[in-house]
Structure formats: structure tokens, C-alpha cells
Structure 1
Amino acid sequence: MQGKGETWLEANECAARIGLSKRALRLYEEHGLIRPRRTQKGWRLYGADEIARLHEILALKRLGLSLQRITALLQGKAVDLAGILGIQHDLLADQRERAEQGLALVRAAQAKLAAGTSLTADELIRLAKEANMTETTTDTVAWKRYEQARPRAEIKLDPRRFERCTGFYKHPAGLIMAVTLEDDRFFLQLTGQPKVELFAESDSNFFLKVVPAQLTFAPGEYGGIDTLVLHQGGHDTVATRIDEAEAKRWGNELGERVRNRIPDPRSEATLREVLEQQQRGSIPLALLSEELAELVREQQPIVSAELESKGELQSLGFRRVGEDGVDIYEAQFAGGALQCGIGFGQDGRVHTLWMRPA
């Protein structure tokens, strides 16, 4: 059916072309997720907006969300087709990458067996690990990214209600998160980063406008706020409250490292291992935090190709300590140089890792 330049589908045709039942369309309508137009005879019509919303619903179902969770996420909100397409792209690209990595392992094992050679213990472990991998983590991260990226609505609250949230929190990556109230405005500042304003979404939930990230303040056993949860990049990271003296002590230690150019004793050897493994096309998961491992896994094809094109790693030269505590090196390869940054968290794993042209 055509109308004013737009195509409208009746329920039967819409369901058949998308691969749904009419009952599913009715169910989504009952949950307030779609609102098809009606003809004078009461027939339902589905246009571009309704089909875009159906795409969102089906994509979120593919990520494992229940209808109740999808309803809570989408009800009353505008269609964000660009957002859900971005999530789908990331998910499918990650699945393709993992499938290619798995096929490469299997083919290599088949070739060795066909040549009459036994597989080593390390090769068998890699095959077993590949067989045990699931998409649960990727799917969960993908839908969290989608939820975190949705538009937020600011509410006005009495600034005095924020006072119990102010103070210092220690991020697992080793950063200090300072939460302050200034002239009735709420601010967050991470080590080595500019101060950014927070906006209230509820009594304990706040969001940033500069990046798709949110904060939740959680009370402890005695009612005071003792943890801060950062929701960003598809992850929920818990930072614990510390007193001002500890925050100052940590800041002084970092300041001394920056002034005197003192690298973490682990950084050079760890960075070398990370670069060499990625150059070979593998991911040093045991060295990385969970959040960083997920990000490295997504970017591995690009990073591996870039490192491979540079040739053999010849030297690592320490340059300085960044204001955020990250050790910065220049990696010299046979075919060029890269500037690399590496930082460790409280658990001893790498939480910060980046590289760019030198």
C-alpha cells in the first residue's frame, strides 16, 4: 500500500516479509513497543518507523534480552536505528573474527595430523579453549553499550542531596575518581583528565554528556556511599571509596613518577610481550583486564595487520610517564616506529594499552 510517498504494509505482509507471526506483532504492540496506524476499517498498517522499531526489537532479542528487558529499554524512547546498527556491526564483526581464528586453529591441527605429527599440549589447550568459547560475553557487552548510548533525560534535584556522593574513589585501573560539588554543580575528574559535569537521572544515577557513560552511587552497610559504578563501553566498573589522605598519597606518588620519569618495572617486558603476541596474531588474554581484553579482541585484525607491516620489533625506548600514570614508550620496528602506552591496574593486569604513529 502506498501513501504520500511512503509504503505501508498490512499485518500479514509485514509479518511474512520480516519472518514474524502476527501474534508477535500484536505482542509487541501490547507492550507499547510499536504503534501501527489504523485504516478506517481498523486494519493495522506498518511503515518505515514501525519496521525500524521491529529491527531494534529483533536485534536486542538476538543479544539475548527478554521481552520485559527490551520493553524497559525501548518503551517511550525514539527509534535509534544508527545505534542498533552500530551494535549489530560490532557483534557480527566479532563473531566473524572469532570464527576465522577458530578455523585457522582447526585447519592447522588437521594439517599436522594429516602429516602424521602429533599435536603439542599447548596446541591442544588452544583447541579446547576455542571449543569452549561462547558469544555470551560479546552479546552482553553489545547490549550494554546500546543501553549506555541511549539518550538521557536530566532531572533537577536539590544539590545538597549530592553531598554524600562527593569524595574520592579508586578505579580498578589505578586511577583516582574525584567527585565534587561546586556552585551547585556536580563534577567528576579522573586522574590526568579534565573535569566533566555530571547530570542527575535519579537520586543515585548520573550521566555525562561529553561521552556515553553513567555513574551509579551505591550505599554501604551503614547507609553512606562507599562505591561508585562507572557504566561505559559495555562494562560496569566498580570503584571503591578512599579517604582524602590516601588520594593525596597516591597523587604524590604519581607526581614523583611523572617528574622523575620512573616507569613501572613491569611495563617494558609486558609491552614487548603484548606487541610480539599481537604481531603473531594472538591475544595475550592472561595479561589484560577483562574490559581491555574485549576491546583488544575487537580491534585485533587491524592491530595485527599494522604490527605485521612494521616488521621485526627492534627496540623499546622509554619516553615518559603520562599524567594519568601510563608509561609511554617508542617501539622501533624494522619498518617504522609507534608510540605506545601501557598502564597497570590494582590486580596487576594491564588496564590501559594504546599505540599510535610515533
Structure 2
Amino acid sequence: MQNGSEKHVWLTAVQCAERTGVTVRALRLYEQAGLIRPRRNGKNWRLYGTGEMARLTEILALKRLGLSLQRIADLMAGHATDLDLMLTIQTIALQGKLQRLQQSLAMVEALRAKTAAGTLLSVDDLVKLAKEMNMRDASMDSVAWRRYEQARPRTEKKIAPSLYADYAGFYLLDEHVFAITSRDGRLFARLTGQRELEIFAEDEDRFFYKAVQAQVTFVRDKDGAVSGLNLHQNGYEQAAQRVEAEVALAVEEVLAERVRNNQPVENSEALLRQMIEQHQRGEPDYESMMPALALASHEQSAAIQSELEELGSIREISFKCVDPEGWDVHDVTFDKGKLEFKFILASDGRFGGIFFRPVS
């Protein structure tokens, strides 16, 4: 039997970052927000012990729920926060993923049952299976195939107007809301911060836009009720789960509040600076991007690097505003020019989109 407790282990900021998978910069941000208070040694180095590591684990878990640092601070201080809304959003997202996996599994099991019964699979069976697998595939070949499929001409078809009532409602797409409205025998779709556009029936549950190359497919559950939708655009399939009006309004209010307060995402300037410098070096971090953006960045990497390299080093980044769709907008001054950048983050913290253009 040993006397006393086990020797306490202290980690430096670099060691702590390596163990937890966060950056040293992130640790400093958590400290500045008052979320964690590392000890100091005689050389004034920050030290992280078991208590600090446990606290850090809590912070990271709450961030994965989509909470901002301010809301995490409020929660840890015992103040009221919108944790229930965040949990609701996460629940809906996970339910949507589970439903899509169950749909794929059901299709595969049905085909296995046919082969087990000695029935040969038809070409139509295999095509349906290939399409289902393609929807989950982010490879360049699959994305290219979906782009072709999404760009083909569509023919409008009349369907029973009574079906439109099935589709009308709210659908959660990441941190935005898809609002589907039926008026005068027509169907309209609006994504948070964007203008409303009419969508046209290609078949029951399948609609397409005329204004853009995109389609919407409504998904029904085993009881035949519409439970979600898939947005087909830019070679990708984005799933949105149907939600109650109260949840949709709460989600839209979170974004509206950020737009009203002109509040950029946390660490907005640092995130943008890092992204620009990575592209200038020809080393973009594709894991920090959503699949569609990662693919587009990969395809254009040489051109992006050339354009940004020519501008030289970053001299200043100035935040301008949060636009109505929730994108952070910055002016970036380089040694040899100036660009306006706008970007948006997905709920998991990855870049969902980024654009830049010259500033006159």
C-alpha cells in the first residue's frame, strides 16, 4: 500500500493542446473568456493539471453542442442559457442521420432478401442502389455524377394540389431553416436569410427550382408522413429534418439576433487569417471545410493560391458586418491590394462557404 496520493502531473500549453486536439490559440481564447484558469510556474508558463483538463473536456463537449463561449460561460456560472434549443437541434440532426441510414439499410436488406429468394436483381434495382450509395459518397467522381444529374433539364408535371399541404412546414438544415409554403396551388421555398423562390413538381415528392440548378425531394416516414427533405445542389445532397414551428422560429431568432447585433462568429478574424495564409502557402486544410467547399477549394486551389500569393502579406483585416444570411464579411488589406471576404461556419465549426472579391 502506498502512502499519499499519486504524483500530480502538470502539462504545458503545448502538451495540453496535443492531448486534447485543440490549438494553443484556442486554449488562450478559453482563458480569455474566463472558462479555464491554468496555473503558472516560476517562469510564468501556463500549466494544466487534472482539474483544468476535466474543465477543458466539459468546454469541448459543450462546444460540440453548438454553444458559443459566452453561453458556455453562462452555463458554467449557473446562468440561464439556450441549452434546450441546442439539444433539440442536435437531437433533430442525429434523428435525421439515423433515418437516412435506416433508409439505406432497408434498401440493401430488401435486395438481399430478393437474392436469397433466388430472384435476380434487375438493372433498375442496381441503379436505385447505386444512386442511394452515391448520395452518401463525397468522392470527386460521385460529386461530378450528381452535378450532371442536378443540371439536366426538368419537366414540370401536374400533381394533386392536396399534396402541397403535406410539404408545407419547417425543415432544419444545419443552423438554417427551410420554410416551405403553399399558396394558390403553388409551392414556395425559402432558406433563412434568402428570398423566397417557387419550386415546381417533377413528380410526387420531387420538385425543382427554375431560378437555380437545384432540386428538393421530400422524404416520408414509414407511415407516409413527410418527415424531411433533401436539397440537391452543387453536386451534394443536404438533408433537412422537419421541425415544429417553435423550433424553427427559435433557430431563426438566434441568427436574427446575431445579424441585428452585427456579432461575428468567435475568433472570426483569426479563422479567416488562417484560411487565407493556408491557401497562400498551398496548404489548405480541407478537414476544416464542409465537403462541398473542400471539393471546390481543391479544384481551384492553384488559381486561389496564385491570386492570393500575388497580393503579398496580410496587413489588416477589418470586420464589416454580418449579412442577412449569417455570413461574416471582412475587408482584407494586403501589401498589394484589397479583397472583401465573406464566410459562414457550419454547426460543427467547419467552413460551410467562403467567397472573396476585389474591393474598389
TM-score (norm 1): 0.61
Q: 1:161 — aligned with what?
A: 163
What displacement does 1:342 show?
1.3
* Cross-structure match for 1:138: 140
Match of 2:288 in 1: 287
Distance 1:273 1:294 in 2: 19
Query: 1:234 aligned to 2:256?
Result: no
TM-superposed deviation, 1:271: 1.1
Give the deviation of 1:216 after TM superposition.
Answer: 0.7
Aligned counterpart, 2:211: 210
Change (3 A) 1:254 1:198: same
Assess if the C-alpha contact under 8 Å between 2:138 and 2:291 holds in 1.
no
**Alignment partner, residue 171 of structure 1:** 173
Q: CA-to-partner distance for each residue in 1:88-127, whole Å, 9 max, x for gaps?
A: xxxxxxxxxxxxxxxxxxxxxxxxxxxxxxxxxxxxxxxx
Question: Contact 1:267 / 1:343 at 8 angstroms: preserved in 2?
Answer: no
Q: Residues of 2 paired with 1:219 and 1:346: CA distance? A: 25
- Distance in 1 (CA, whole Å) between partners of 2:268 and 2:221 is 35
Q: Which residue is equivalent to 1:261?
A: 262
Q: Aligned partners of 1:266, 1:204: CA distance in 2, in Å?
A: 41
1:147-158 matches, cutoff 5 A: 147-158=149-160
2:203 counterpart SS class: coil
Residues 136/225 of structure 1: CA separation in 2 closer, same or farther (3 Å cut) = closer
Mapped to 1, the partners of 2:335 and 2:148 lie a distance apart of 41
Letter in 2 for 1:347: D
Secondary structure of residue in 2 paired with 1:201: strand
CA shift, 1:309, in A, is 0.8
Are 1:198 and 2:199 counterparts?
Answer: yes
Alignment-mate amino acid for residue 263 of structure 1: P
Amino acid aligned to 1:152: R
Q: Is structure 2 residue 311 aligned with structure 1 residue 310?
A: yes
Please list the CA deviations of residues 33-70 of structure 1 after superposition, one character each: whole Å capped at 9, or x if unmatched.
Answer: xxxxxxxxxxxxxxxxxxxxxxxxxxxxxxxxxx958x
Report the CA distance shift for 1:353/1:242 in structure 2 as closer, same or farther (over 3 A).
same
Distance change in 2, residues 1:266/1:239 (3 Å): farther
Describe the SS at the equivalent of 1:215. Answer: strand
Distance across 2 between alignment mates of 1:232 and 1:154: 18
Match of 1:326 in 2: 327
Residue 257 of structure 1 aligns to a residue in which SS? helix
| Mapping 1:64-143, distance limit 5 Å | 137-143=139-145
Give the superposition deviation at 1:193: 1.4
Partner Cα separation in structure 1 for residue 333 and residue 157 of structure 2: 51
> Among the aligned pairs, what percent are the same residue?
37
2:356 partner SS: strand
The answer on whether the counterparts of 1:235 and 1:291 sit within 8 Å (CA) in structure 2 is yes
Q: What TM-score does the superposition give when structure 2 sets the normalisation length?
A: 0.60
Structure 2: gaps of 5 or more residues = 1-121, 129-136
State the match for 1:53 in structure 2. none
Alignment partners' CA distance in 2, 1:212 and 1:342: 22
| TM-superposition CA deviations, 1:329-356 (whole Å, max 9, x none) | 1111111111111111122211021111
Deviation of residue 199 (structure 1)? Answer: 0.6
Q: Equivalent residue for 2:188?
A: 187
Letter in 2 for 1:207: F
Secondary structure (helix, strand or coil) at the match of 2:139 reads helix
Letter in 2 for 1:187: F
Structure 1, unaligned runs of 5 or more: 1-66, 74-134
Q: How far does residue 307 in structure 1 lie from its aligned partner after superposition?
A: 0.4
What secondary structure, in the 3-state scheme, does the structure 1 residue paired with 2:278 have?
helix
> Which position in structure 1 is the counterpart of 2:64?
none
Deviation of the 1:72 alpha carbon: 7.8
Judging changes above 3 Å, is the alpha-carbon distance between structure 1 residues 179 and 277 closer, same or farther for their aligned structure 2 residues?
same
Q: Does the CA-based 8 Å contact 1:267-1:342 persist in structure 2?
A: no
Give 4+ residue runs of structure 1 displaced > 6 Å after superposition.
Answer: none
How far 1:266 sits from its partner (Å)? Answer: 3.5
Specify the SS of the correspondent of 2:190: strand
Q: Which amino acid aligns with 1:333?
A: F
- What residue identity is the alignment partner of 1:140? S
Alignment of 1:40-59 (within 5 A): none
Give 1:267 deviation, angstroms: 2.2
Note the C-alpha offset of 1:265: 0.5
